[in-house]
A and B are shown apart, each in its own frame.
Chain A
Amino acid sequence: MNTGLNEYILAIVTCEKDKIKNGGCPVFLAQGQEEMEHISLLLARVLGGVVHDLENGVYFVCKH
């Protein structure tokens, strides 16, 4: 039985911490674009999710 959280933001990855107000999920701060991509890739693999881009320097991982 699948008991995972679907259609829910599992993690937020960003370089700009001012863009995020507390939202009930872990926020990972990265130093620069490269690290941001790397962290979100790792998180997506581990969580079985997909990385989405909000086009304002914020990535998040969500499972569908």
Chain B
Amino acid sequence: MVIATGIVAGLINRWLLLRSDYRHYPTYPHGQLIHLALGFIAASLGAVAVPAIAKPDYVAVTFLVLAAQQFREVRNMERETLMKLEESKIISRGTAYIEGIARVFEARNYLVIMTALSSSAAAQLGGLKYAFIVAPISIIVSLRLMGGSFIGDIAQVEKGRIDFKGSLLMVEDVVMMNVGLPQTRQKIMDEGMGVIIKPRDDNARLNLDNPGQRKAIIHDVVSILGSKVDINETELMPLARKQVDQGYLAFFVVANEPDIEMLIEVVKKVPVLESTRGTTLFSYYGRKAAD
């Protein structure tokens, strides 16, 4: 009974943590099955731990630790799958984004183990009714932990004006690229959209500086609004370039859905990648340099 409580709580947790959203992952039914199955294993591991200690059966506990090692493989598995898919994408995710996703998948399993562990501990020590209190709390806590921050939290996103200075495409005062053909220029003027991403502080500036973070923004926008890039027709490639003096980012895209309001919303909802997070304000010299 105790173990069953833990397993159920853990499994519910994993299910809630599964997101099939705009990031296109894991939208594949088989991907979901794999993660639910792994979630079940993680939940069982967590659930068995407390009864095993209570018995006391220390050998079983040692085996549990060994089994937990297996979840490291989850990260490798995700990374490999996404890297393989990368080759068949016109606009790639970028390795920084993939690394972030893979790490999150590993972390989710540990959260499931934690939920199962705490619920089964509650059931073991206090009885079933305590488990009903502890399980929802730990599920909410783990949903919170997995939340993460978004571009909208660290930067201001505004509409940017698209213009040509000779053959140079500009978004506000940032040079994006050189466009040769007059037809292409006209198409960009008609259908292109520009956005300015202004970092709120120095940490955010360093974050937006990172090419991996920029690729993540481009990928998320394209996976929702679409793009008019095709194989061998890369003239309308979406780009993110920085204003070197001020440090803000200009973003340009020719999307299938030319809706500037939604574009701004999408950019705001791009996750801030762990590996690219700027930390200058956490260091003494960084703080001194900033003022």
Q: Enumerate chain A interface residues (CB-CB to B < 8 A).
A: 37, 40-41, 44-55, 59-60, 63-64
Instruction: Check A52 against B180 for contact (C-beta < 8 Å).
Output: yes
Q: Tell whether, in the assembled complex, residue B183 and residue A53 are in contact, meaning their CB atoms are under 8 Å apart.
A: no
What is the CB-to-nearest-CB distance from B119 to chain A, in angstroms, rounded to a whole number? Answer: 50
Task: Looking at the assembled complex, report how far the CB atom of B136 sits from the nearest CB atom of chain A, in whole angstroms.
Answer: 50
Q: With A52-B167, A53-B167 in contact, do A59 and B180 touch (Cβ < 8 Å)? A: yes
> Dominant SS at the A interface?
mixed
Number of A-B contacts (CB under 8 A): 47
B78-100 contact mask (Cβ, 8 Å, vs A): 1 or 0? 00000000000000000000000
- The reply to whether A51 and B231 contact each other, CB–CB distance below 8 Å, is no
When each residue 263-287 of chain B gets 1 if its CB lies under 8 Å from chain A and 0 otherwise, what string results?
Answer: 0000000000000000000000000
Instruction: Choose one: A37, A50, A60; the contact of B182 (CB below 8 Å).
Output: A37
With A52-B178, A53-B178, A55-B167 as contacts: A37 and B183 at CB distance below 8 Å: yes
Residues of A within 8 A of B231 (CB): 48
A23 CB → nearest B CB, Å: 17
Cross-chain contact B234 with A64 (CB below 8 angstroms): yes
Q: Is there contact, CB below 8 Å, between B232 and A51?
A: no
Contact residues of B between 165 and 214, Cβ < 8 Å to A: 166-167, 177-184
Q: Which residues of A are found within 8 Å of B182, using beta-carbon distances?
A: 37
Per CB-CB distance, the 3 closest pairs between chain A and chain B, nearest first, are A51-B180, A53-B167, A48-B232
Give the CA-CA distance A49 to B235 in the complex, in Å: 8
Are A45 and B232 CB-contacts (below 8 A) given A37-B182, A52-B178, A52-B180?
A: yes
CB pair B234 A53 closer than 8 Å:
no
Contact between B235 and A53 (Cβ–Cβ < 8 Å)? no
Distance from A10 Cβ to chain B, minimum over Cβ atoms (Å): 13
A40 to B182 CA separation, bound complex (whole angstroms): 12
Q: Please indicate the chain A residues that have their CB under 8 angstroms from the CB of B234 in the complex.
A: 48-50, 63-64
Are A51's CB and B233's CB within 8 A? no
Residues on B with beta carbons closer than 8 Å to the beta carbon of A37 = 181-183
Can you report 30 A-B residue pairs in the complex whose CB atoms are below 8 A from each other? A37-B181, A37-B182, A37-B183, A40-B181, A41-B181, A41-B183, A45-B232, A47-B232, A48-B232, A48-B234, A50-B177, A50-B179, A50-B180, A50-B237, A51-B180, A51-B184, A52-B167, A52-B178, A52-B179, A53-B166, A53-B167, A53-B179, A53-B180, A53-B181, A55-B166, A55-B167, A59-B180, A60-B180, A63-B234, A64-B234
Distance, CA A41 to CA B167, complexed state (A):
16
A30 to B178, CA, bound (A): 21
Beyond A51-B179, A51-B235: 15 further Cβ-contacts under 8 Å?
A: A37-B182, A37-B183, A40-B180, A44-B235, A49-B234, A50-B234, A50-B235, A50-B237, A52-B178, A52-B180, A53-B167, A53-B178, A55-B166, A55-B167, A64-B234
Residue in chain B with minimal CB distance to A46: B232
Residues on the B chain within 8 Å of A40, using CB: 180-181
Closest to A44 in B: B235
